Amino acid sequence: MNPEGWREGYDEGEWKIALVFILPLALTVFVFICLPVMGTFWNSLFRDVSYLPKMWVGFQNYGKVFKDPNFFPALFFTLAFSIVAVTLETFFGLLFALLLNESFPGRTFLRAIILIPWAIPTIVSAKVWKLVYEYSYGVMNVLVRGLGLSGEKINWLGTSGGAFWALIFADVWKTTPFVVLLVLAGLQAIPEDLYKQAMIDGAGLWRRFYKITLPLVLPVLLVSMIFRTIDSLRMFDLVYVLTGGGPGGSTQTLSFLGYRYFVNDRFGLGSTVSVITFGISFAVTLLYLKFGKFRERLK
């Protein structure tokens, strides 16, 4: 075995330059991501509370977290939120992308308008939604009653069901534009000839959609869904502003639970929840890498 075999077939001058060019980036990733992730794992093995000396406890924190009555509801809420939010985002994303792929007057205008929710900072949008959901003078209740959807005012943020949907709507509003952009790019890549041929063959609007559009745009939908899932699994901002995890702890995400441990000076347990959150995200990230065809893009 040639110990220097790993660089066989490479021009020495060239890979040395490459090393220098990549070093600052790689170093930043190592120091500010890899090290902290490992450090968080390390911290999760300690009892670390402000009022007692720091002590090695092995994996005891994991047992403690699993026994915390907040953990499984938070895990369940995070998963339920991600599934429902990503489904709706994909539905509306596809719907609006199909619309913006048609040619009609005003298309350019609408393609710009759809970016507005994307451009607004999440915290700002969360505050706006909070006002919209306001019980006594929020516009949501005026609309819901005006449209006859409900006779009574809905306590959006004060009931666990209302809070769930309040968070979902706010998230769908903010993130659908991103899905629209991805799907639109996918739609534009479908050759026009396919539709022309199908029309000659007498295929109607619906048939053309599910025989041509849907199968061809499916890979893009899949990648966007995986990406959106990674993002919603770590959701924090909306919960922080809209519900504060409430009512009664019913809308805590894993990120929010970890944050609460940290601010309550329970670093060991906070780190433990963070490690679990990282593990779940990382598993989905591997799917993203598999279906995102990033390797092919590097050829």
Interaction with other proteins in 25-54: which residues (CB under 8 A)? 25-26, 28-29, 31-37, 39-40, 43
Minimum CB–partner distance for residue 134 and other proteins (Å): 8
- CB proximity list for 196: less than 8 A, separation 6 or greater: none
Q: Is 202 in the site for other proteins (CB under 8 A)?
A: no
The CB density around residue 203, as the number of other CB atoms within 10 Å, is: 15
Among 17, 55, 80, 83, binds other proteins (CB under 8 A): 17
The residues, any chain, with a CB within 8 Å of residue 5's CB and separated by 6 or more, are: none
Lookup: tokens for 165: 């949907």
- Which residue's CB is nearer to other proteins, number 10 or number 72? 10
Q: Decide if residue 200 touches other proteins (CB under 8 A).
A: no
Could you say whether residue 195 binds other proteins (CB under 8 A)? no
Position 106 contacts other proteins (CB under 8 A)? yes
Least distance CB 49 / other proteins (angstroms): 13
Among 165, 195, 236, 291, the residue binding other proteins under the rule CB under 8 A is: 236
| Contact call for residue 133 and other proteins (CB under 8 A) | no
Q: How far is the CB of 85 from other proteins (least distance, A)?
A: 12
3-class secondary-structure state, position 89 = helix
Q: How many amino acids of this chain bind other proteins (CB under 8 A)?
A: 109
Please identify which residue in 231, 243, 245, 252 interacts with other proteins, judged by CB under 8 A. Answer: 231
Residue 56 belongs to what H/E stretch? Answer: strand 55-56
Which of 37, 190 has the CB closer to other proteins? 37
Strand partners, 49: 266
Distance (Å, rounded) from C-alpha 119 to C-alpha 131? 19
Given a contact cutoff of 8 angstroms between Cβ atoms, the answer to whether 131 and 138 are in contact is yes
**Rounded CA gap, 205 and 230, in Å?**
34
Among 50, 53, 136, 201, binds other proteins (CB under 8 A): 136
* Dist. CA 129–CA 294, nearest whole Å: 36
Nearer to other proteins, 163 or 233 (CB): 233
Query: Could you say which of 119, 147, 149, 200 contacts other proteins (CB under 8 A)?
Result: 119
What DSSP element (H or E) covers 46? Answer: strand 46-47
Q: Is 139 in the site for other proteins (CB under 8 A)?
A: yes
Does 283 help bind other proteins (rule: CB under 8 A)? no
What string of DSSP letters covers 23-34? HHHHHHHIIIII
